[in-house]
């Protein structure tokens, strides 16, 4: 099944990096022939009340209630310019919400598209909260764009790595990524482990056979953890092999466990090494 429509949440400020990431996301949608729906959120930002003298006490409540909002219109303007230049079918929406409501607001719209796309800043808690909500509550895959390196990212995914651990989230991610895998020139199944077991080899071979039914030729490679973290191992592999897209299941262990102790999902979301497609 082809990807026909994509949701692109827009939050934050229209910095050069943010606008570059928007442009790259629109280009990917155009390459897929998909319609892209941008929802820009003006985030209400409380301003600390100024100190007032007693003579001005009648204005204290008005000052305390003063609010500012993020420049969502600037983000939407950048989106519109990219969509027009690249001739990509699009829809634009603008809304205004309190900061605490932003992440959950994208869940409903995401359920009505094939894919949600989101650009993340490195180690940014607000970005991570949006990704978490989409992963756990939308029922749709999320394609993550690392904002800081967006300028150097490809718009066609020729080299794809699948992080495989025989779990349900990994299987879901592969199913969601099939339209992208079918177009890739080089698909690799990678398992992070220090000792290859017979069960792992059989599982990877069975996955390769499944992909072959979709006319996807995939190779298998076990990569050593060697005292590092799985997330860092994936990052090193992506950079060494010039991987365009990493496909992986999200949160093999509980979200609370990963929040406290860390894990591959949190590492990759915190600083994606390339485009990353996640599902759960």
- The lowest-confidence range among 10-24, 35-49, 85-99 is 35-49
State residue 140's pLDDT score.
97
Per-residue pLDDT at 259 exceeds 80: no
State residue 45's pLDDT score.
75
Averaged pLDDT, 161-176: 96
Averaged pLDDT, 75-82: 98
Give all domains of the chain, ordered by start, each with its CATH number. 5-151 (3.40.50.620), 156-279 (3.40.50.620)
Confidence tier at 263 by pLDDT (50, 70, 90) = confident
Q: What is the per-residue pLDDT across 131-149, written as a single tens digit (0 to 9) for each?
A: 999 999 999 999 999 999 9
Per-residue pLDDT at 251 exceeds 90: no
- The lowest-confidence range among 171-180, 182-191, 235-244, 247-256 is 247-256
Averaged pLDDT, 104-125: 96
Averaged pLDDT, 19-31: 98
Confidence tier at 228 by pLDDT (50, 70, 90) = confident
| Three-class SS of the chain | CCCCEEEEEECCCCCHHHHHHHHHHHHHHHHHCCEEEEEEEEEEEECCCCCCCHHHHHHHHHHHCCEEECCHHHHHHHHHHHHHHHCCCEEEEEEEEEHHHHHHHCHHHHCCCCEEEEEECCCCHHHHHHHHHHHHHCCCCEEEEEHHHHHHCCCCCCEEEEECCCCHHHHHHHHHHHHHHCCCCEEEEEEECCCCCHHHHHHHHHHHHHHHCCCCCEEEEEECCCCCCHHHHHHHHHHHCCCCEEEEECCCCCHHHHHHHCCHHHHHHHCCCCEEEEEC
State residue 264's pLDDT score.
87
Averaged pLDDT, 215-239: 94
Strand positions, DSSP E, 11-89 = 35-46, 67-69
Ramachandran sector of residue 33 (left: φ over 0; alpha: ψ -120 to 50; beta: rest): left
Averaged pLDDT, 248-262: 57
State residue 53's pLDDT score.
53
The overall pTM is greater than 0.75 = yes
Per-residue pLDDT at 52 exceeds 60: no
Confidence tier at 262 by pLDDT (50, 70, 90) = very low
| 35 class by beta-carbon count within 10 Å (0-12 exposed, 13-18 middle, 19+ buried) | middle
């Amino acid at each position: 099944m082809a990807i026909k429509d994509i949701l692109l949440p827009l939050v934050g400020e229209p910095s050069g990096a943010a606008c570059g990431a928007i442009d790259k996301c629109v280009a990917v949608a155009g390459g897929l022939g998909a319609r892209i729906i941008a929802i820009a959120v003006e985030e209400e930002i409380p301003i600390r009340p100024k100190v007032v003298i007693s003579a001005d006490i009648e204005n204290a409540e008005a000052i305390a209630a003063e609010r500012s909002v993020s420049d969502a219109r600037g983000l939407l303007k950048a989106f519109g310019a990219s969509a027009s230049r690249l001739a990509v079918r699009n829809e634009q929406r603008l809304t205004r919400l309190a900061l605490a409501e932003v992440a959950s607001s994208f869940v409903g719209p995401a359920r009505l598209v094939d894919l949600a796309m989101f650009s993340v800043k490195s180690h940014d808690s607000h970005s991570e909260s949006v990704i978490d909500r989409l992963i756990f509550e939308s029922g749709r895959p999320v394609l993550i764009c690392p904002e800081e390196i967006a300028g150097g990212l490809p718009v066609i995914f020729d080299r794809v790595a699948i992080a495989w651990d025989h779990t349900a989230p990994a299987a879901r991610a592969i199913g969601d990524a099939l339209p992208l895998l079918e177009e890739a020139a080089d698909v690799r199944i990678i398992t992070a482990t220090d000792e290859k077991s017979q069960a792992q080899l059989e599982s990877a071979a069975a996955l390769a056979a499944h992909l072959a039914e979709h006319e996807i030729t995939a190779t298998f490679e076990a990569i050593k953890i060697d005292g590092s973290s799985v997330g860092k191992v994936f990052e090193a592999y992506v950079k060494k092999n010039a991987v365009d897209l990493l496909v992986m299941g999200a949160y093999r262990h509980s979200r609370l466990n990963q929040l406290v102790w860390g894990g591959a999902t949190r590492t990759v979301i915190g600083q994606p090494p390339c485009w990353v497609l996640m599902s759960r």
